[in-house]
Amino acid sequence: MAVLSCKGNQKSSLSIILTIFVLGFRRAAINTDSPMKILIDNGHGLMTAGKRSPDGQFREPFYNREIAKRVVADLVDRGYDAELLVPEDDDISLEERVRRVNTACFLLGKANLILVSIHVNAAGNGSKWMNATGWSVYTCKGRTASDKLAECLCESAIKNFPGRRIRTDMSDGDMDWEENFYILRKSLCPAVLTENFFMDSHSDLEYLQSKAGKQAIIDTHVEGIVDYLLGNGL
């Protein structure tokens, strides 16, 4: 589940800065055919408080990390230049995440980078089961370069989640939801955040944890990203 504000400051170590430099220039070594860097953000650190189902059996940070790693692996297998934004287990602050994104934008150019942040939704505070269900994708407010990426992910979700609710907001003419999420508002490149069903819904949680559900979530992200890149001639 995403948060709206940035809390606290986290110092960047020299190793993190060097990692970003390597991240920026590894494209030529990994894949000279892809002009686009894809950053996948696994929302929350492994020890982040809360972020779990009401029974405590499902923990969002662990799930996000599993899905993000598999999305990256699938994209790399397809020949794309994809990386985890946060390879550490720690709860890296939103400010530091955005710093990493924008450092890569500075090195590569913001038109040569996209960010997808992966989360699981919650309708309540984690204390009881709720009735909300469905998948959704968010961009920052207003018409931005992120809208096309969100549209591709929505179309992929409709294909990969037959019979399941896709939560859309057509009030501004497109399917994504708009929120003032820090990582979306401050990232210089096209950036979206996905909320992959609800951890406090019995039916959604069962699907989230199933083999078929996990694969559908991975496929939704990979195919949506690839469709976006192909649509931009990449």
Residue 213, domain member (yes or no) = yes
Model confidence at 171, in pLDDT bands (50, 70, 90)? confident
Residue 13, domain member (yes or no) = no
Query: How far, in Å, are 3, 19, 46 from residue 61 at the CA level?
Result: 13, 22, 5
Residue 200, domain member (yes or no) = yes
Model confidence at 19, in pLDDT bands (50, 70, 90)? low
Query: How far, in Å, are 12, 93, 150, 183, 208 from residue 37 at the CA level?
Result: 21, 22, 17, 17, 28
User: Quick check: 7 pLDDT over 50?
Assistant: no
pLDDT at 219: 98
Domain at 226, CATH number: 3.40.630.40
Q: Which residues lie closer than 8 Å to 69 by C-beta, 6 or more apart?
A: 42, 84
- Interatomic CA distance for residues 23 and 38, integer angstroms: 10
pLDDT at 12: 41
- Interatomic CA distance for residues 223 and 71, integer angstroms: 10
Residue 209, domain member (yes or no) = yes
225: which 2 tokens? Answer: 């990203």
Q: Which whole number is the average pLDDT over 99-122?
A: 96
pLDDT at 26: 41
Residue 4, domain member (yes or no) = no
pLDDT at 70: 98
Q: Which structural domain range is residue 178 located in?
A: 30-231
pLDDT at 18: 43
Residue 18, domain member (yes or no) = no
Among 14-28, 120-134, 144-158, name the one with the lowest average pLDDT. 14-28
State the chain's mean pLDDT as an integer.
86
Residue 48, domain member (yes or no) = yes
The pLDDT tens digits of the residues spanning 181-229 come to 999 999 999 999 999 999 999 999 999 999 999 999 999 999 999 999 9
Q: What is the dihedral of CA 84, 225, 24, 62, to 10 degrees?
A: -10
- The total domain count for the chain is 1
The pLDDT tens digits of the residues spanning 20-79 come to 445 444 432 323 344 799 999 998 766 665 678 999 899 999 999 999 999 999 999 999
